[in-house]
Amino acid sequence: MFDSDLAIIYFILGVVVLFINMYLAYQFYEVAKEKGYAETKYFVIPFIFTIPGYLLIIALPNKNAPISSTVKKVSKDLPEL
């Protein structure tokens, strides 16, 4: 194999990895939009930081959830001992 052939292969692999990263970042951006975060920074962060960015999107709280489903009601009665 010649050096120019190897450079072409690396270039093609780099482009493929770039498109896969763009696709995954867009999918995580869609998840962030479903959670109520529609800013473009939620596309850029997973695109630049990859796995830590994906984890950030996963950890975002849901802004669209009703409060009653996220807060557990606590009884004010004390149990008898």
70 or 66: whose pLDDT is higher? Answer: 66
Distance CA 39, CA 28 (A): 12
Structure confidence by residue, pLDDT tens digits, 19-35? 999 999 999 999 999 99
Distance CA 4, CA 21 (A): 26
Kindly report the number of other CB atoms within 10 A of residue 53's CB atom: 20
pLDDT at 43 over 80: yes
Nearest to 45 by CA among 55, 35, 62: 55
Q: Label residue 48 exposed, middle or buried (CB < 10 Å: 0-12, 13-18, 19+).
A: exposed
Question: Quick one: DSSP state of residue 73?
Answer: -
Residue spans of the domains in the chain: they are 18-62
Q: Full-prediction pTM beyond 0.75?
A: no
73 or 1: whose pLDDT is higher? Answer: 73
Distance CA 38, CA 9 (A): 37
